[in-house]
Structure 1
Amino acid sequence: MQNKSIITILVLLAFLLPQFAEAQCAMCRAVLESEADTSAAEGINNGIVYLMAVPYILVAGLFYFIYRKMRS
């Protein structure tokens, strides 16, 4: 039980700290790498990570509540 809670906390931290994740589609990366200004690329990258994380968090919350309901 202790190992599961540690793994859960680590996964949640990975979703809550998106600056360590790098995610871009091929088209966005090609366009943004050709520009000299990197602030736009960082903004696009952060937006993609946030958009990707939200559905996973919602689905995880749904499964957690289903698990709690089935357990009680």
Structure 2
Amino acid sequence: MNRIIKIAFFLVFICTEFATYSQGCSTCRAQIITSNKDDLSVGNGINIGILFLMVVPYIILFFLFRKKIISVYNQLFRSK
């Protein structure tokens, strides 16, 4: 019974559509508002920030699982 409740909750959570509005962080909003129309560095700065946010979880995972990753790498290339 407990498992059925968990599955039902998960399905309701996944299937429910939430109305989310793009709020934007204050730094991005301030940077876009204060930029000139001819200033192309705004998009570049925002893209660097997005890439930074995308890379950080992978770096954290590497440090958490580095011993396992190194052992798998050694098994693959040392055996040949």
- Of structures 1 and 2, the one scoring higher in RCO (CA 8 A, sep 6+) is 1
TM (norm. structure 2) is 0.38
Decide which structure has the larger Cα Rg and report it. Answer: 2
- The structure with the largest helix share of the pair is 1
TM (norm. structure 1) is 0.40
